[in-house]
């Protein structure tokens, strides 16, 4: 009976065995490529390839590791012709030149990192501790750093450190040796430590302190009140926004740029709280000249016990729909 099913698998059995891994595979592909939309496409390709080869799956490995082998190789193939996705802070140091509005990068010059809606990967129920680990492995700072690793080193690090596959299992997934896995992991760890030597202790987005910081940030924009922002940001806060090359370091510089070029008048901005990459976030609307509040993008905050240490704004109206919100606010 089993052999017959292996020879001619039906859709119901395939779905029952594989569908429960879809969300974690989406998170895996996102860590690899830094784009929510690309990750979604790569998961679709993973399931298409898995279905096509399901009749040849003999169960020597678990169905989970088999799917991860397919997904990882799909990602590695997709990454070969693509530039890495970055944040402005990955291009150069903070801007310290003459006062000017933020300087946008020419379209197509840089591939920008994208935020990941928590709702895309959050399980309906699960171990709270495991959910915390999952969120920590998707923080924006970590995802941005991962993109600077060579693709196979990135895969080794994610499979070993995030997903807890053994060296032997990782070697099987990547069709290499355990010695190569151990060497790749050592190099990846060293490079990651250079990029992010002291990862911050961020508050969980459900923490009351994190929500208070997000509420304060939203209120500051909606009221056009720089003094409220001063209360929210740490003295060493950084501010960056895609698709702009310039980014600011230090609360004074952040406040100057926002007050001089961004905040506008009370009512120009509307924000709705959400979560992205395991961090407090908001979808952003801006009131245009016609008086209509239209989608503007998504902002994510790095919330700590002493205030917001990092603000990353993704200026892309299409992201608002990705997070499940309308393009235009009618009230």
- In this predicted structure, the answer to whether residue 125 has a pLDDT above a threshold of 60 is no
Residue-level pLDDT at 209: 97
pLDDT category, 1, cuts 50, 70, 90?
very low
Q: Look at residue 50 and give its three-state secondary structure.
A: helix
Q: Which pLDDT tens digit goes with each residue over 236-255? A: 999 999 999 999 999 999 99
Nearest to 157 by CA among 128, 131, 195: 195
The domain 208-329 is placed in CATH, from the list 2.40.128.20, 3.30.379.10, 3.10.450.50, 2.40.10.340, at 3.10.450.50
Residue-level pLDDT at 307: 97
Residue-level pLDDT at 6: 47
Q: Which pLDDT tens digit goes with each residue over 187-216? A: 999 999 888 767 778 999 999 999 999 999
29-50 burial: b if 16+ Cβ within 10 Å, else e: bbbbbbbbebbeebbebbbeeb
User: What is the Cα–Cα distance from 331 to 293, expressed in whole angstroms?
Assistant: 9
- In this predicted structure, the answer to whether residue 127 has a pLDDT above a threshold of 90 is no
User: Phi first, then psi: what are they for 242, rounded to 5°?
Assistant: -85, 145
User: Phi first, then psi: what are they for 280, rounded to 5°?
Assistant: -60, 140
User: What is the Cα–Cα distance from 158 to 29, expressed in whole angstroms?
Assistant: 10
Q: Structurally, what CATH architecture does the domain formed by 1-82 represent? A: Orthogonal Bundle (1.10)
Mean pLDDT across the stretch 146-155?
Answer: 96
Instruction: Give 174-201 as a DSSP string.
Output: HTS-HHHHHHHHHHHHHHHHHH-SS---
Mean pLDDT across the stretch 163-191?
Answer: 95
Mean pLDDT across the stretch 299-317?
Answer: 97
User: Which helix (H) or strand (E) segment is 301 a member of?
Assistant: strand 293-304
pTM: 0.92
What tokens appear for 16 in the block? Answer: 């029952």
Mean pLDDT across the stretch 10-27?
Answer: 91
Domains 1-82 and 208-329 share a fold: no
Share of the chain above pLDDT 90, in %: 79
The answer to whether residues 261 and 226 touch, using CB atoms and an 8 Å cutoff, is no
pLDDT category, 3, cuts 50, 70, 90?
very low
Mean pLDDT across the stretch 288-300?
Answer: 94
Residue whose structure tokens are 């892309």? 316
Residue-level pLDDT at 197: 62
User: Which helix (H) or strand (E) segment is 2 a member of?
Assistant: helix 2-7
> What angle in degrees, to the nearest 10, is found between the helix axes of 167-174 and 178-195?
100
Q: Decide which of 81 and 225 is more confident.
A: 225
Nearest to 285 by CA among 302, 300, 272: 272
Mean pLDDT across the stretch 133-141?
Answer: 85
pLDDT category, 68, cuts 50, 70, 90?
very high
What is the average pLDDT score of the chain?
Answer: 91
- In this predicted structure, the answer to whether residue 147 has a pLDDT above a threshold of 70 is yes
The answer to whether residues 304 and 284 touch, using CB atoms and an 8 Å cutoff, is no
Mean pLDDT across the stretch 158-170?
Answer: 95
Q: Decide which of 198 and 172 is more confident.
A: 172
pLDDT category, 2, cuts 50, 70, 90?
very low
The verdict on whether omega for the bond into residue 243 sits within 30 degrees of 0, i.e. cis, is yes
The answer to whether residues 180 and 235 touch, using CB atoms and an 8 Å cutoff, is no
Domain ranges within the chain, ordered by starting residue: 1-82, 208-329
pLDDT category, 133, cuts 50, 70, 90?
low
Mean pLDDT across the stretch 160-164?
Answer: 94
Mean pLDDT across the stretch 165-193?
Answer: 95
Residue-level pLDDT at 117: 97
* Helix ranges (DSSP H) in 8-117: 11-18, 22-33, 36-53, 63-79
């Amino acid at each position: 009976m089993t052999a017959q099913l292996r020879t001619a698998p039906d859709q119901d059995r395939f779905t029952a065995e594989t569908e429960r891994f879809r969300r974690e595979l989406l998170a895996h592909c996102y860590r690899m490529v830094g784009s929510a939309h690309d990750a979604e496409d790569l998961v679709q390709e993973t399931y298409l390839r898995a279905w096509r080869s399901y009749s040849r799956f003999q169960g020597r490995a678990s169905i989970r590791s088999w799917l991860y082998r397919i997904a990882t190789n799909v990602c590695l193939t997709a990454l070969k012709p693509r530039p890495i996705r970055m944040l402005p802070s990955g291009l150069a140091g903070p801007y310290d030149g003459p006062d000017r509005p933020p300087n946008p990068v020419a379209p197509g010059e840089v591939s920008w990192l994208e935020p990941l809606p928590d709702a895309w990967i959050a399980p309906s129920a699960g171990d709270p501790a495991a959910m915390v680990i999952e969120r920590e492995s998707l923080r924006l700072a970590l995802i941005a750093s991962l993109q600077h690793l060579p693709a196979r080193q990135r895969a080794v690090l994610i499979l070993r450190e995030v997903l807890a596959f053994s060296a032997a299992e990782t070697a099987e997934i990547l069709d290499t040796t355990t010695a190569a896995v151990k060497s790749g992991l050592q190099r990846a760890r060293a490079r990651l430590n250079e990029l992010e030597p002291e990862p911050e202790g961020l508050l969980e987005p459900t923490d009351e302190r994190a929500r208070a910081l997000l509420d304060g940030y939203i209120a500051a924009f909606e009221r056009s009140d720089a003094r409220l922002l001063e209360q929210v940001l740490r003295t060493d806060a950084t501010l960056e926004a895609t698709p702009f090359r310039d980014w600011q370091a230090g609360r004074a510089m952040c406040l100057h740029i926002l007050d001089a070029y961004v905040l506008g008048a009370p009512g120009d901005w509307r924000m709705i709280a959400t979560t992205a990459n395991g961090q407090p976030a908001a979808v952003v609307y801006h009131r245009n000249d016609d008086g209509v509040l239209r989608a503007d993008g998504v902002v994510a905050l790095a919330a700590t016990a002493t205030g917001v240490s990092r603000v990353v704004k993704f200026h892309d109206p299409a992201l608002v729909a990705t997070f499940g919100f309308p393009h235009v606010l009618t009230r």
